[in-house]
Structure 1
Amino acid sequence: MKFGENLRYLRNKQKISLSGLQEVTYFSKSYLSRVERGLRNPERTLAELADQALNARGQLVAAWIRDYENGPPMLVSRSGGEATKRRTFLKSAALAAGVGLTDIAGQPEQSMATVARLRDALIPNAPTVPTSPYPASLARAVTRAQRDFAAAHYVDLADHLADLIPVARMASEPAELAVAAQVYHLATRTLIKLSASPYAWIAAHQGKQAADASGDLRAIGEAHRDLVSLCHRAMDYRKARDIALSATEWLRPRLDGAPAPAWGAYGTLMSTGAIAAARSEDRHSATEMLQAADEAAPLAPNLVLSPGHVATYKIGVSIVLGDAGTAIEHAKAINPDEIPTQERRVSYYTGVAEAYMLWGKTDRAVRALLVAEKIAPPEVQRPGTREVITELLHRDRHSKLSGLRALARRASVSL
Structure 2
Amino acid sequence: MGPNANDLGAVFRSARHALRLKQADVARAVGYSASAISRIEGNRMRVNLDTCLLLARVLDIPPEQVSGFHAPADPVIDTVGTLPMSDEEDAMRRRNLLGALAAGASAVVGTGTAAASPTVVPDLDDVLFRLPPAGPAPLRVLADQTASAREAFTAARYNDLGNSLPGLLSATEATRDAAVGRARQQANAILARAYVLASELAAKQHSDAAWVAADRALAAARASGMPVPVGEAARVLAITMRRSGSCSSAVRFLTAEAAVLDPAEGRTGAVRTTLLLTAAYSAAAGGDRTTALALLDEADETVERRPQAAPSGLFTVDATKTQAAVYRIGVHTTLGTPDEGVEIARGLNIDLMPTPERRARAWTDTARMWHALGNGEEAFAALRRVEEEAAQEVRRPALRALTSSLLYSPARVQGLREFAVRTGAVPA
TM-score, normalisation: structure 2: 0.65
Q: How far off its partner does 1:212 sit?
A: 1.3
**Alpha-carbon distance in structure 2 between the residues aligned to 1:256 and 1:356:** 34
CA contact (8 A) 2:376 2:406 kept: yes
Q: How far off its partner does 1:264 sit?
A: 2.8
CA contact (8 A) 2:221 2:229 kept: yes
**Alpha-carbon distance in structure 1 between the residues aligned to 2:137 and 2:396:** 39
The 1:269/1:197 distance shift into structure 2, 3 A limit, reads farther
**Alpha-carbon distance in structure 2 between the residues aligned to 1:276 and 1:286:** 8
Q: How far off its partner does 1:135 sit?
A: 2.5
Find the counterpart in structure 1 of residue 325 from structure 2: 311
**Alpha-carbon distance in structure 2 between the residues aligned to 1:293 and 1:311:** 10
**Alpha-carbon distance in structure 2 between the residues aligned to 1:344 and 1:140:** 22
**Alpha-carbon distance in structure 1 between the residues aligned to 2:274 and 2:167:** 27
Deviations 1:272-300 (A, max 9, x none): 22111012122222123223333454122
CA contact (8 A) 2:363 2:382 kept: yes
CA contact (8 A) 1:121 1:166 kept: no
SS at match of 2:139: coil
Alignment of 1:263-342 (within 5 A): 263-297=269-303, 298-301=307-310, 304-342=318-356
**Alpha-carbon distance in structure 2 between the residues aligned to 1:357 and 1:257:** 38
1 or 2 for the larger relative contact order (CA 8 Å, sep ≥6)? 2
The 1:246/1:257 distance shift into structure 2, 3 A limit, reads closer
Q: Amino acid of the residue matched to residue 186 of structure 1?
A: L
Find the counterpart in structure 2 of residue 189 from structure 1: 200
CA contact (8 A) 1:177 1:214 kept: yes
1:198 aligns with 2:208: yes
Find the counterpart in structure 2 of residue 154 from structure 1: 158
Q: Specify which of 202, 215, 220 is matched with residue 225 of structure 2.
A: 215
Instruction: Output the aligned Cα RMSD.
Output: 2.7
The 1:141/1:294 distance shift into structure 2, 3 A limit, reads farther
**Alpha-carbon distance in structure 1 between the residues aligned to 2:365 and 2:345:** 9
> What is the aligned-residue identity percentage?
29
**Alpha-carbon distance in structure 2 between the residues aligned to 1:296 and 1:339:** 18
1:101 aligns with 2:113: no
The 1:220/1:296 distance shift into structure 2, 3 A limit, reads farther
Find the counterpart in structure 2 of residue 410 from structure 1: 422
SS at match of 1:107: coil
List runs of 5+ in structure 1 lacking aligned partners.
1-98
Find the counterpart in structure 1 of residue 367 from structure 2: 353
The 1:197/1:267 distance shift into structure 2, 3 A limit, reads farther
List runs of 5+ in structure 2 lacking aligned partners.
1-103, 109-114, 311-315
Q: How far off its partner does 1:120 sit?
A: 5.4
4+ runs deviating over 6 angstroms: none
**Alpha-carbon distance in structure 1 between the residues aligned to 2:223 and 2:317:** 26
The 1:225/1:359 distance shift into structure 2, 3 A limit, reads same
Report the number of matched residues: 304
**Alpha-carbon distance in structure 2 between the residues aligned to 1:329 and 1:146:** 33
SS at match of 1:235: coil
**Alpha-carbon distance in structure 2 between the residues aligned to 1:380 and 1:132:** 37
TM-score, normalisation: structure 1: 0.66
**Alpha-carbon distance in structure 2 between the residues aligned to 1:289 and 1:233:** 19
